[in-house]
Structure 1
Amino acid sequence: MVLIVEFEIATPILRQTVDDVAKIDVEEIYQSETGATKLICWVHGDDLGHLETALTADDTVRTASLLEEQDDRRLYSITLSEHGEAHLTYPTAAEYDIGYHEITVTTDTKIRARVPTRASLFAYRDVCREKGIPFRIQRIFRESDPSGDRYGITDRQQEALQVALEEGYFDVPRETTLSAIAAKLDISDQALSARLRRGQANLLRNTMGERAPI
């Protein structure tokens, strides 16, 4: 039975940066054509005046590019440094078919993930501990539990998919654009694109039984 697991890991990734802000929501993790690991992140805080300095000083960050700016949050494309990649647990999660749904960095890194089996979960936990990364499980429930995500998608992914469907984004030919839907949801094009891809991957994985990359 597939599980939804909420857990915390004490990774150094973005820890120096989050000390100066309220929280960081990681929208997407992917590998660039050059092999570098990149994160698309929303950085939240009442005062983001020192954010650029914090990112520059963070030894887990190689580069950071501002994609969008709002009153109390900014969207960044962040490339991890070698130090950051050394503490990245995402490749291990992918190896054990664990799909991240939500990642929030505060005092610790909180992750909500879809896990195929308890054996996969414990194997992932063991690798985290081998890397010197503390691991704490907060909650486990079956994917079919009504309190969990239907079809393994988050509320934000469901909202994005629903609006895209209603507005005709999936029609042939398309009746709207990515930018128009992003404006309706008050998020950036990049954030919407990532949300739609992850939502569709989770839907396919949970309805067709095929493994799809996040």
Structure 2
Amino acid sequence: MALIVEYELRTPVLATVETAPARIRLEEIYRTDADRLKLLFWATGEGLESLRDALADDPNVASVSLLDDADERRLYSVVMTEEAEEGFTYPVAAEHDVVLLEAVVTDSTVVRARAPNRTALFSYREECANRGIELRLKRIYREDDWTTDRYGITNRQWEALEAALEAGYFEVPRGTTLSELATELGISDQALSARLRRGQANLLEHTIRESGPDMKG
């Protein structure tokens, strides 16, 4: 069973975030035709106005482009220098089949990733240490228990709720039956019923209970 791991990294890469306080949420990492690492990320926060100049002055950054300006957040494309790649763990992660799912950068980098097993995860951490990169584990849990951070709903609960909604299961009259939906998802009726109940409970817990009523009457 694959693992979901959350860990904190401290590297000199994108250190400008400290001088131009902003929150960076990584969207994608890939290589350019010139074999350079390119990052696509959304930036938010108080330092948003000064971030582009700070990135342009960063010795780790070869080029920076603003792709989208959406009010309080901006989408940037940044190509890293060849020297900066030594501070990136992305290639090391790929070698150990560790898949980066999300990264949030403030004064440090917090990553959520998928690892095939603990052996691969600890080999990845050891290789980071060999490169002088500190990797501090925060949480490790099974993929089945991974919540999407969308109202506390797990991936499988989200999948069940979405399929039920699209198939008209919550409509009156119902557009499909529990058995039909379970067959479509390849699980038993009992498993689907449990996922729907737990998913709806999590949804209500993170919406109605947390927000409370706006008015009474």
- Considering the TM-score relative to the shorter chain, is it more than 0.5? yes
| Residue of structure 1 in register with 2:4 after alignment | 4
Write the letter of the residue equivalent to 1:92.
Answer: V
* Counterpart in the other structure of 1:140: 140
Residue 114 of structure 1: how far off its partner (Å): 0.5
Q: How far 1:83 sits from its partner (Å)?
A: 2.6
Structure 2 partner of 1:196: none
Q: Normalising by the residue count of structure 1, what TM-score does the alignment of the two structures yield?
A: 0.67
Question: For the Cα contact (< 8 Å) 2:6–2:111, is it kept in 1?
Answer: yes
1:71 to partner: Cα distance:
2.0
Describe the shift of the 1:99–1:73 C-alpha distance in structure 2 as closer, same or farther (beyond 3 A): same
Match of 1:135, SS? Answer: strand
Shift of 1:50: 1.6
Q: Secondary structure at the match of 1:144?
A: helix
**How big is the shift at 1:131?**
1.1
What is the Cα deviation at residue 33 of structure 1? Answer: 1.8
| CA deviation vs aligned residue, 1:157-201 (integer Å, no higher than 9, x gap) | x8xxx7xxx7xxxxxxxxxxxxxxxxxxxxxxxxxxxxxxxxxxx
Q: Between Structure 1 and Structure 2, whose CA radius of gyration is higher?
A: 2
One-letter amino acid of the structure 2 residue matched with residue 12 of structure 1: P
Q: 1:70 to 1:90 in 2, by over 3 A?
A: same
- Shift in CA distance, 45/146, structure 1 to aligned 2, threshold 3 Å: closer
Tell me the secondary structure at the aligned position of residue 101 of structure 1.
strand
Q: Does 1:32 align with 2:37?
A: no
Q: Deviations over 1:85-133 (max 9, x none)?
A: 1111101111111111110111111000010010111111011111111
2:168 maps to 1:150: no
In the alignment, what sits opposite 1:81? 81
CA contact (8 A) 1:17 1:58 kept: no
1:41–1:77 contact (8 Å) kept in structure 2 = yes
Mapped contact 2:22–2:48 kept (Cα < 8 A):
no
Q: Counterparts of 1:96 and 1:146 in 2: how far apart (Å)? A: 21
Do the aligned partners of 1:26 and 1:40 also contact (CA within 8 Å) in 2? yes
Residue ranges of structure 1 left out of the alignment (5+ in a row) = 167-214
Q: Contact conserved, 2:17 with 2:23, CA < 8 A, in 1?
A: no
Provide TM-score, normalisation by structure 2.
0.66
* In 1: Cα distance, 2:146 partner to 2:6 partner: 16
RMSD of equivalent CA atoms:
2.0
Q: Report if the CA contact (8 A) 1:42-1:76 is conserved.
A: yes
Q: Secondary structure at the match of 1:21?
A: coil
Identity %: 43
Aligned counterparts of 2:19 and 2:119: Cα–Cα separation in 1: 34
1:145 positional shift: 2.0
Q: Does 1:123 find its partner at 2:123? A: yes
* Matched letter for residue 95 of structure 1: E
**Cα distance, 1:41 vs. partner?**
0.8
Partner of 2:71: 71
Shift of 1:52: 2.2
How many residues were matched structurally? 155
